[in-house]
Copies of this chain bind each other. A is one copy, B any other.
Amino acid sequence: MPETKVLINLSNRHIHVSKEDLAALFGAGHKLTKTKDLMQPGQFACEETVTIVGPKGRFEGVRILGPERAETQCEILASDQFKLGVPNCAVRESGQLDGSFPMEIIGPAGSVKKARGLIIAKRHIHFDPEAAKRFGVVDKELVSLKAGGERGAIFENVVCRVSPSYALECHLDFDEGNAVGIGNGSIGEIIKK
C-alpha cells in the first residue's frame, strides 16, 4: 500500500521578488534578512515586507519569502481578490505567470509596477522523488486531499510537484485552512482517483 498521510502547512499572502525588484524596492545592494527557515530546503521567511496595490485596494505588510527568484510573483488568498479589486485572479502553480494580473508593489526605497505576477496559488503537495515513489505519485499528477475533522473536506485537484529540491509537505492557504478548521502542522490524507 502506498503512503497517504502528509503534513499540511498553510500559506498566508506573500511575495517572491527578483533581484532587480528587490533593489528597486529596498535600495541597490540590499540583502534579504532571514527570520525563519521554511520547510522547503533553501526557502525562508524574511524580515522585509512590502505593500501590494490593486485597482481597488492594497495590503500592507506582505511578507517576502526568499531567496530571490527569476521573476517577481505575489501569491494572494482568494479572499483578497475583493479588497484588491482583482476578481477572477488566476489560480496558478508557482512560476506560471502567463496572463496573470498586474500589480504595483511599494517598498521603503521605491515602487515597481509589474505587468503580471499576481496569482492565487494552486493547492499543491511537494514531494522529493523518494517520497513520490512511496506515495505512488508522479510530477503534475492531480490527487484529492482529505483534511480537517468534523468540519473537514476533500480538496480536489491538488497538484503533486516532484523535485529533488523539495521536502514532503502540502501547501494549502489560509482560506482553505479556515474552511476546514485546521492550522499549520495538520495531517492530511491523499486520495487517489
Q: Could you tell me which A residues sit within 8 Å of B by CB distance? A: 77-79, 91, 122-123, 144, 148, 150-157, 174-176, 178-181
Copies of this protein in the assembly total: 2
Name the residue on B nearest A183 (C-beta).
Answer: B87
Contact of A175 among B150, B156, B175 (CB under 8 A): B175
A144 contacts across to B, CB distance below 8 A: 154
Task: Give the chain B neighbours of A154 by CB distance below 8 A.
Answer: 144, 153-154, 156
Report chain B residues within 8 Å CB of A180: 179
**A178-B181 in contact given A154-B153, A154-B156, A155-B153 (Cβ < 8 Å):** no
Among A152, A156, A180, find the residue whose CB has the most chain B CB atoms closer than 10 A: A156
Q: Given the complex of chains A and B, what is the CA–CA distance between A155 and B178 in angstroms? A: 13
Name the residue of chain B whose CB is nearest to the CB of A148: B156
Which listed residue, B91, B148, B150, B151, touches A151 by the CB 8 Å rule?
B91
Q: How many Å lie between the Cα of A181 and that of B92 in the bound state? A: 13
For the complex of A and B, the 8 pairs showing the least CB-CB separation, nearest first, are: A179-B179, A175-B178, A78-B178, A154-B154, A79-B178, A176-B179, A153-B153, A153-B155
Most buried by B among A77, A148, A179: A179
